[in-house]
Structure 1
Amino acid sequence: MVEAWYLLEEGEGPGPSVGLSALRKLGVCYWKLDADKYENDPELERIRKEKNYGWMDIITISKEKLPNYEEKLKMFYEEHLHRDDEIRYVLDGGGYFDVRDGADRWVRIAVGKGDLITLPAGMYHRFALDRRAYVKVMRLFVGEPVWTAYNRPADHLEARAQYVQFLARSV
């Protein structure tokens, strides 16, 4: 099961937990799969077909595997959004997706092996590794991959306007 909670001010520890239903109201989708069989998993194939996730690759984020590791970590942690959904399937290791709720508060979502998560286009978020400083993820896309991140503020983008409208309807 997914673990999520509100981030409090620095040094105050984790805040109240956030359930899956609250994450769904933010547009976050989540599945728990068996990462040991990702190459031949009928459940993953069903999700990919249903959601039209046609393109995929696998990336390992660690000092040993990722060029410009420190620079990339800083970039991932900068608050940003994308024009397309961000779809990640954790095959090993772990980290945190921090997302903004409708009141602009941070919600931290812990992801680990077997977690498949989708953040909607237009949602402000950031990513950090957990204490293991390692994650291996499958990146999925609808259509051709687009890697462009738009750092906050990016409220002028159509994807952001659509996401804000989605939030207003889901309250």
Structure 2
Amino acid sequence: MIEAWYLDECNGDQRLPHKCDPNKPVSLEELKQLGVLHWKLDADIYESDPVLQKIREEWHYTYNDIISIHKDTLPNYEEKLKMFFEEHLHLDDEIRYILDGRAYFDIRDKEDKWIRISMNKGAMITLPAGIYHRFTMDETNYTKAMRLFKGEPVWKAYNRPADDFEVREKYLNSIKSA
């Protein structure tokens, strides 16, 4: 459901895997040390899934919506993909649950190198507030995702550099000891 690796140095099509040769995988434990949490859920029953409900209660995810990202369903698809792929951070956690299709999140490691996280149907991750990241589709150009929030949805992204935010400093301090 979730696979991660270091990105190669190629600047070609962002929707390609961009694995190094040889591949440099990143373990789920290494992602956890960077504050990235993950779950494997049954996307076919997301509306009534007791596991998802328990996660929502434990983590206080009180709001959700569903977005279908495809050229036929998302207005200004190509422009939105460019915007999603700009390196940024949020002041709140970013929680995404893939209900169908596939997509990538790229995050920075402790040395500021890119790690690509591949997500398939049933994968849910939380990116911590303050982590630099970006999002893109894979070659299928389709994903349906649930976006979850603590309280009201917050859509504001702060493009890099955004190091002056307290949440960025808090994030960096949290991964120093990990």
State the TM-score, normalized to the length of structure 1. 0.97
1:21, 1:157 → 2: CA distance? 27
Structure having the higher helix fraction is 1
1:35 aligned onto 2:43: yes
The superposition leaves residues 126-147 of structure 1 with CA deviations (integer Å, 9 ceiling, x where unpaired) of 0110111011000000011110
2:106, 2:170 → 1: CA distance? 20
After TM superposition, list the pairs within 5 Å mapping 1:46-125 onto structure 2.
46-125=54-133
The alpha carbon displacement at 1:45 in A equals 0.3
Q: Percent identity between the aligned chains? A: 60
2:7 aligned residue: 7
The superposition leaves residues 82-123 of structure 1 with CA deviations (integer Å, 9 ceiling, x where unpaired) of 000000000001111000001100000000100000000000
Do the aligned partners of 2:137 and 2:143 also contact (CA within 8 Å) in 1?
Answer: yes
The alpha carbon displacement at 1:2 in A equals 2.0
Do the aligned partners of 2:103 and 2:119 also contact (CA within 8 Å) in 1?
Answer: yes
Aligned to 2:129, the other structure's residue is in SS state: coil
1:122, 1:88 → 2: CA distance? 16
Unaligned runs of 5+ in 2: 13-17
Aligned to 1:102, the other structure's residue is in SS state: coil
Task: Give the counterpart letter for 1:21 in structure 2.
Answer: E
Task: Give the counterpart letter for 1:107 in structure 2.
Answer: I
Identify which of 132, 136, 141 aligns with 1:128.
Answer: 136
2:91, 2:19 → 1: CA distance? 32
Aligned residues: 170
Indicate the RMSD between aligned Cα atoms, in angstroms: 1.1
Do the aligned partners of 2:6 and 2:19 also contact (CA within 8 Å) in 1?
Answer: no
2:153 aligned residue: 145
The alpha carbon displacement at 1:61 in A equals 0.6
2:15 aligned residue: none
1:154 aligned onto 2:162: yes
Aligned to 1:64, the other structure's residue is in SS state: coil
Task: Give the counterpart letter for 1:158 in structure 2.
Answer: E
Moved over 2 A (4+): 11-15
Task: Give the counterpart letter for 1:101 in structure 2.
Answer: D
